[in-house]
Amino acid sequence: MRCDRPAGGHAGRWDVLALGRLPYLQAWQLQVERVAARAEGCVPDALLVCEHEPVVTTGRGTRADALLAQRFPVHAVERGGAATYHGPGQVVVYPIVALAPGRRDLRAWLASLEAACIEVLAGYGLAAGRRPGATGVWIAGERKLVSLGVAARRWVAWHGLALNHAPDLAHFEAIRPCGMPASVMTSMAAELGPDCPPREQVEAALVAALQRHLEPFRAPCHALADGAVS
């Protein structure tokens, strides 16, 4: 992809695209197009915010025994990690960000995604944190609230996170989420009960936190060098 008008004038700007509920493959195609445009400097960094119809995605680390029931469509994707369920009631965010030279560390990128989620959940009284040896955001290291998986193409990061706001947790029984029993999955609604905040409030808080935590990774808004592939 080549653009006639590079996005150098958009330095510092984020595009926040509220996509609503849409099929997974439609969101995936939007990511692919946005990654290509960002790699050429045609558009600024973006946060794609959405939720999906029920679907299972399998990352590069998925084992053969991860799928327990064929209840939902299954799509193999480029991200790291194992099998993950997406569905109504999740807040899904796909950050499409050109990583600056010197900040092209996907482990550090994942840690910043986790930190943003932990900060947001703390604002609602949830003492969330990390679990040694596992990605994601957990309550007491036992109940998983946020799943993450990322990739980079020409050093533009994509894929992202799914925060369980109020999904049907029984849907996770179709898989071994990240190789674990479905019983590890929880949600804000399950943890907070009637005190669970509305989805729109959580989305806004998460977008703001991600913008703060991801800012140090951002490259200048111009075309990236060809061939930087991860």
Pick the catalytic residue: 42, 50, 117, 178? 178
CB contact at 8 A, 196 and 166: yes
The structure tokens listed for 151 are 């990739």
d(CA 219, CA 102): 10
CB 207 within 8 A of CB 16: yes
Query: What is the torsional sign of CA 121, 189, 181, 59?
Result: negative
C-alpha closest to that of 5 among 222, 219, 159: 222
User: How many C-beta atoms surround the C-beta of residue 124 within 10 A?
Assistant: 16
50 is catalytic: no
DSSP string computed for 187-206: -HHHHHGGGPPPHHHHHHHH
Residues with a catalytic annotation lie at 178
